[in-house]
Chains A and B, each alone.
Chain A
Amino acid sequence: MSSNNSVAIIRKNISNYLPNELLDFRNAMEKFMAIRDNRGYNHIAGFHGAPDFYCWHHQRNDRTVLRARLFLPWHRAYLKYLEDHLRDSNTQVSQPWWDPSSPLSHSEGIPKSYTTRTISGRKNPLFNFRIFVPRSSVEGLPNITLDEDTFRDPSPSSELPEPELVDSLYEEEDFGIFSDKLEDYHDRIHVWCGGSMADVITAGFDPIFHAHHCNIDRIWWIWQLRHGNSTMPNNILDLPLPPFNYTVKDVLNIYDLGYDYATASAEVITG
């Protein structure tokens, strides 16, 4: 693995955000969400489920030797692309990660920064998002335009998985086994969140989706640091990750993508 000397972006734990960091992140999200063209949140979030359905879940083509597991690489590319556009208005912000197995999550569930409806009288952009996916109407067929707010209906926080489950993931040595186990953990969080997060069609529009997936990506990265990439099948390394201009091997090293994960981080401009 190369070093992170050149990394520009530090993704931090949302529970450790300082008030000014949270304000900057919310402001950037607000601007990002207000853009309705192909630079905006509505468009890019739509790569996952409706209307584009590029997302990759579980291994496919079980009957062949390929058995491609692109769940982790595809979502890494997706998060990177979305984050680049988020930072268009403020290069100092990054996406946070949310650990649903932490003691704090077991007491408060989804982070308060995402569940507060308004901040100082203004709508909290992390609370929800208005999905708008128009479809041309066809006579005789149902209107399936999506024009709705995302919402959550979480189960009790006591039903979130324990940290020991995540610890057990790091013990796996084979990428395939690890990927399947981590994906099941990921599925469990979607089931737990309920509402828009529980449907592939709408999940990518909920702002908590990306904090959840940054955590999944973080767990994969920690696993990579421990076990490397040698158990990743060679025959998937050159597979493309549409609609992004990456192949699997392009996203194996997050330092090459320009980011890293930290519990917390701070910097000061000195010159």
Chain B
Amino acid sequence: MNKMSNSNRKKTNKKGDSLSGRKVGNIFSSPPIKLNWIKEETEFYRADIEFFGIDISGPSYEGRVFLNNPKADENTGLNLENGYAGSYYIFGHGGCYGDVGHRDIKPRRTFDSRTEHDLTPAYKSMIATEPIKKILKTTKEIVISIIPITARSARMSNAKDIVYIDKIRISCYENYSKLNK
């Protein structure tokens, strides 16, 4: 399991904070993720959000991740009250430099272990225990919003459709050390 740091939740971005000239792309909104397997007695000490198949062919950007906050935008404060779960960062390709076909990613067989195309979509994850526990007090459905904020003056920093993700997974983990007692 790969865990991206959630320490950027400590950032105290106040509403109205400037984006320092960085541009905002279209907000990504996931379908509801249903955590119906969570029972009242279910205990977990850590909850992770994993992002599979993130497109990296476009601009570099920060993806601000909010849970169950459909009004979240680039000015929303980065705190638990607003459902902020953390940010991930993408070092983007910045568009295609090659000729026709250069960026085409050919599908691979499942167990083909050879290395893949350098535009193979990325994987990111973050620990989001507190925001998920907070939400589960009222609902078992989570909608994830991602606010993409591009790097300044990058080749495609004015792009709008930036966030493409194949799959998002939320997993909650029991405290194994406790179970072993």
Stretch at the interface among A19-27, A55-63, A121-129: A55-63
> Which residues of B are interface residues toward A (Cβ below 8 A)?
1-5, 7-8, 10, 20-22, 52-53, 56, 59-62, 88-95, 97-100, 108, 110-113, 115-116, 118, 120, 122-125, 150-157
- Binary interface profile of A, 155-171, with partner B (CB < 8 Å = 1, else 0)? 11001011011001100
B153 contacts which of A50, A176, A194, A200 (Cβ < 8 Å)?
A194
Query: What 6 pairs between A and B have smallest CB-CB spacing?
Result: A199-B94, A194-B152, A198-B151, A198-B154, A187-B89, A153-B153
Asked if A55 contacts B152 (CB within 8 A), the reply is no
User: Taking A61-B113, A151-B153, A191-B151 as contacts, is the C-beta distance between A168 and B94 under 8 angstroms?
Assistant: no
Residue of A nearest to B114 (CB): A61
Task: Tell me the A187-237 residues at the B interface (CB within 8 Å).
Answer: 187-188, 190-195, 197-203, 235
A186 — which chain B residues lie within 8 A by C-beta? 91
Q: B155 contacts A201, CB within 8 Å?
A: yes
Q: Is the CB of A177 within 8 A of B3?
A: yes
- Contacting A191 at CB < 8 Å: which of B21, B52, B62, B98? B62
The reply to whether the CB of A244 lies closer than 8 angstroms to some CB of chain B is no
Q: Are A191 and B115 in contact (CB-based, < 8 A)?
A: no
Beyond the given A64-B110, A165-B5, please list 13 additional residue pairs across the A-B interface where CB-CB is below 8 A: A58-B120, A59-B123, A61-B120, A66-B113, A176-B2, A181-B2, A190-B151, A192-B151, A194-B152, A195-B154, A198-B60, A199-B156, A200-B92
Contact B59 A198 (CB under 8 A): yes
Q: Is the CB of A184 within 8 A of B52?
A: no
- Determine which of A58, A161, A188, A203 lies in contact with B123 in the assembled complex, contact meaning CB atoms within 8 Å: A58
Q: Check A195 against B153 for contact (C-beta < 8 Å).
A: yes
Residues of A in contact, count (CB < 8 Å): 59
Docked CA distance A141–B20 (Å): 36
In the complex, are the beta carbons of B151 and A184 less than 8 A apart? no
Other-chain residue from A66, A161, A187 in contact with B90 (beta carbon distance below 8 A):
A187
Pick from B62, B99, B111, B125: contact of A64, CB under 8 Å: B111
Q: How far is the CB of A54 from chain B (nearest CB, A)?
A: 8
CA distance A44 to B35 in the complex (A): 50
At the interface, yes or no: A51 with Cβ under 8 Å from chain B? yes
Distance, CA A257 to CA B20, complexed state (A)? 41
Residue of B nearest to A62 (CB): B123
- Is A33 at the interface (CB under 8 A from chain B)? no
Q: What residues make up the interface of A, taking CB atoms closer than 8 Å to B?
A: 49-51, 53, 55-66, 68, 70, 138, 141, 144, 146, 151, 153-156, 159, 161-162, 164-165, 168-169, 172, 176-177, 180-181, 184-188, 190-195, 197-203, 235, 239
Q: Bound complex: CA of A49 vs CA of B96, how far in Å? A: 11
**Are A194 and B118 in contact (CB-based, < 8 A)?**
no
Assess the A60–B115 pair: CB atoms within 8 A.
yes
Q: Who on chain B is nearest to A180 by CB?
A: B2
On whether the beta carbons of A169 and B152 are closer than 8 Å, the reply is no
In the assembled complex, 6 residue pairs joining A and B whose CB atoms fall closer than 8 Å, in A order, are A68-B115, A138-B99, A184-B4, A194-B152, A198-B91, A199-B154
Find out whether the CB atom of B97 lies under 8 angstroms from the CB atom of A201: yes
Please name all residues of chain A whose beta carbon is closer than 8 Å to the beta carbon of B5 when the two chains form the complex. Answer: 165, 168-169, 181, 184-185
**Nearest chain A residue, comparing its CB with the CB of B59:** A198
Expressed in whole angstroms, the minimum distance between the Cβ of A239 and any Cβ of chain B is 7
Query: For the complex, what is the distance from the CA of A62 to the CA of B122, rounded to whole Å?
Result: 9
Task: Check B97 against A50 for contact (C-beta < 8 Å).
Answer: yes
Contact check: which of B53, B94, B112 meets A202 at CB < 8 Å?
B94
Q: How far is the CB of A233 from chain B (nearest CB, A)?
A: 11
B167 to chain A, nearest CB (A): 10
The residue that B91 contacts in the complex, of A144, A164, A190, with Cβ under 8 A, is: A190
Partner of A200, one of B3, B93, B108: B93
Scoring B3, B8, B91, B97 by chain A CB atoms within 10 A of each residue's CB, the highest score goes to B91
Residues of B within 8 A of A200 (CB): 91-94
Partner of B20, one of A156, A176, A180, A203: A156
Which residues of B have CB within 8 Å of A168? Answer: 5, 7
Interchain nearest-CB distance for A28 vs B (Å): 28
- For B118, the chain A residues whose CB sits under 8 A away are 53, 55-57
CB distance from B94 to the nearest CB of A (A): 3
Min CB gap A82→B, angstroms: 19
